[in-house]
Amino acid sequence: MQIINNPNKESWSKILKRPTQTVGDIEGTVNQVFNEVSERGDAAINQYTYKFDGVSLDSQVVTAEEITQAINEVPLKLQNAIKLAKLNIEVFHTAQKTSKIAIETTNGVQCWQEKRPIQKVGLYIPGGTAPLFSTVLMLAVPAQIAGCKEIVLCSPPNKEGELAPEILFAAQLCGVTKIIKVGGIQAIAGLTFGTETIPKVFKIFGPGNQFVTVAKQIATKYGVAIDMPAGPSELLVVADETANAAYIASDLLSQAEHGTDSQVILVATSETLINEVSNQVATQIEVLPRKAIAEKAIANSKLIYVENDSLALELIDEYGPEHFIICSKNEDLYVHGISNAGSVFIGDYTPESAGDYASGTNHTLPTNGFSKAYSGVNLDSFTKSMTFQKISKEGLLNIGETIELMAEAEGLQAHKNAVTIRLKDLK
């Protein structure tokens, strides 16, 4: 990891640059896949599944028999762990339900707001080097709580043309209505346009690599909403001399093992701690099964020393991390002061892994600085807010002239007439 001492503010943007390609670098490939899926449907999906995943499938749809077999293959102890994690996620997301908001703004003018579920949602579950069955819980549980009617899950198959049994177990546990063995750009394109096999959805959720992230952004050009541009994973830890270097190193490596394009950063007010963490990373990485992946991510990562907490907070807000861990005696300063972060983890005994799996918060979070404007996935992500109003005769008499004056001032005579014609009958 690169150690940077007390960088000046002018260099922050360069230092904090993500190790990702720009949209322009891969947009051409994504557009090509989208065009072919739009024109040829499943035939194009199968072509690209063979090209990118190296497998040819007779059917993309997971059968009931495959799900039954998968359930039998998941050890009972792991099944129980998944069920406990699901319960905690349900508890936290159910608490996010809001009741109908109703108000009489003026005598006779009633306005209210209600939530309605998005009817058709697509869930993208990364596969590849690590089939993320935990993401099934994070997306399907709130979709089910929200009341989404169609929950379509897409995930890339392995070389045998199968999905991990844990993914299938979690999917059936959480009420997924259709499971498709397709990943990457072609999965997002399928959910965007619909094919003979893949239903067209109204909103697409889920993290993915840079190609999936760009594909989701391009999907919005075709009228499909997305949760957020959630790309390669990232973590920033802030710490001082009171922090445990071994704990911090384990957290940094937990994100580094996600993928070679992941990024982890330590911002510390102690130079001694930085050296200790660097040594711990070097030691702990040696025993990781995914050492090769973690090493490449660590090469893109940084240990940054700053003089004080105020400067550290300013730098962190500039970065806008996906995951933010606070290991400092001044934790209140960071908790109350942070504006830009996807999810915050406080104290020595709150590893980021807890949020990834079982504490109850959602791990589908904005990356690449999008935490400055986007929220992580939550219950409201699967709903729409609809407003209603009902105006009585008294109400229209109270606000009618206001509407007429404003419509006339904007030059919209028909708008004015819609009120005037009613007022004449009331006077």
Which of the following is catalytic: 322, 394, 401, 404? Answer: 322
Amino acid at residue number 37: V
Beta strands in 156-272 (DSSP E): 178-181, 203-205, 225-226, 234-239, 263-268
Q: Cα separation of 396 and 426, whole Å?
A: 9
Is 115 strand, coil or helix?
strand
Distance CA 314, CA 300 (A): 22
- 231 near 367, Cβ under 8 Å? yes
- Residue 294, CB half-sphere, CA atoms under 13 Å: how many? 20
- Residue positions in the annotated binding site for NAD(+)? 124, 186, 209
Tell me the DSSP string of 350-390. --HHHHHHTSSS------TTGGGT-PPP-GGGGEEEEEEEE
Active site residue 323: yes
Q: CB 270: neighbour CB atoms within 10 A?
A: 17
Angstrom distance (rounded) from CA 46 to CA 178: 18
Q: Using alpha carbons only, give the angle 174, 144, 184 rounded to the nearest 5 degrees.
A: 70
Residue 271 a catalytic site member: no
Q: What's the CA gap between 4 and 15, in Å, rounded?
A: 9
| DSSP for residue 9 | G
**Binding site for substrate: which residues?**
233, 255, 258, 323, 356, 410, 415
- In the set 323, 336, 352, 363, the catalytic residue is 323
Token pair listed for 266: 């330590």
Q: Output the known binding site.
A: 124, 186, 209, 233, 255, 258, 323, 356, 410, 415
- End-to-end C-alpha distance for the chain, whole angstroms: 78
**Residues belonging to the chain:** 427
Binding-site sequence positions for Zn(2+):
255, 258, 356, 415
Active site residues: 322-323
